[in-house]
Amino acid sequence: MAGLLIPRARSTSISLLQTALFSPPKGCISSTKKSLIRASPITMAASSASQVSSSSTPQVIDSHLHVWASPEEAETYPYFPGQEPTLPGNVDFLLQCMGEAGVDGALIVQPINHKFDHSYVTSALRKYPSKFVGCCLADPAEDGNGVKKLKDLVLKDGYRAVRFNPYLWPAGQKMTNDIGKAMFSKAGDLGIPVGFMCTKGLGLHLSEIKQLCTEFPSTVVLLDHFGFCKPPLNKEEDEIFSELLKLSRLPQVYIKCSALFRVSRKPYPYMDLGNHVAQIVSDFGANRVIDFPYVVNECGYKEAKEAISTIANQAQLSPSELEMIMGGTVKQLFQGQWCS
């Protein structure tokens, strides 16, 4: 499969755009209602790539990154014991990297360094409301308080997405247990997408994801980091990647082509991912594929952004498709955000 680009008929699947819950930042024109609306995945179509391309200076949005307190800030925003970071990742450092790379905004995912204490990320969202959107971390504790915590983070603190980390579930429990279903359903009610982090492999969690999507079709799903599917080298890996592509049949599922260094088998600029991206765009359509994030420690934030052009050329993406992946799709999902 490596190096062989498959001719692609563009997907015409209809995607689910959840109604925005909060007023957009100052300077934006709101097109959303204040009430909570549960949308149907077959009634709300995404704007076409050509519509996004009409902007003379399209925004570049990093759809997946983390921030954590500096050692000095940790006196106010303490780290979770045993999760002290070894690298800088505070908001000021992030803003510097984004400025140098020409990135306009980002979706901040709650980091494990602070676990379920969202105070540091919340402070960044409040300080830079037109720059950042927040994705909180679901708490699957057996006491069942995770649903209330999720609701408060969305309605009180303004988070617009939630991450399901299956490895935080109690031992022996699956994401399809009662608390998992309750949080997944509540996310749909609140109009926020659920991100899945399948670090140990998509195959371990595929049945859970399918079950949740089938039982709660109004909840949008974001699969982080290609579903952790590397370019296949054997039959088993090829079958798992095929299962990833089959998820395109579920119209609420989106793919994050993110964390390139975690998925690629090659060093920067990750030249084995062109065919990977081409197949994903072919099956899902660019309006259901979300952009690449950029990591400082691996190759540099700006340099990782530049790698995208190489991979896009290899995948034979059109300019409008690249524009969607680099910001258009995520802006459709989080309508009214990242406005100057």
Tokens 């971390």 correspond to 137
**What is this structure's pTM?**
0.84
DSSP states of 13-26: PPPP-PPP-SPPPT
Distance between CA atoms of 128 and 104, rounded to whole angstroms?
12
Q: Could you name the CATH architecture of 62-333? A: Alpha-Beta Barrel (3.20)
Question: Radius of gyration over alpha carbons of the chain, in Å?
Answer: 19
Where are the chain's structural domains? 62-333
Which residue positions in the chain have pLDDT lower than 70?
1-56, 292-296, 340
pLDDT in tens, 20-66: 222 333 444 333 333 332 333 323 333 434 444 444 689 999 999 99
What are the Cα distances from residue 331, in Å, to 65, 79, 132, 165, 255?
Answer: 16, 31, 12, 24, 14
Spatial CA neighbour of 224 closest among 154, 321, 151, 289: 289
Does 269 sit behind a cis peptide bond, omega within 30 degrees of 0 on the bond before it? yes
Tell me the three-class secondary structure of 93-116, residue by residue.
Answer: HHHHHHHHHCCCEEEEECCCCCCC
pLDDT at 116: 98
pLDDT at 319: 93
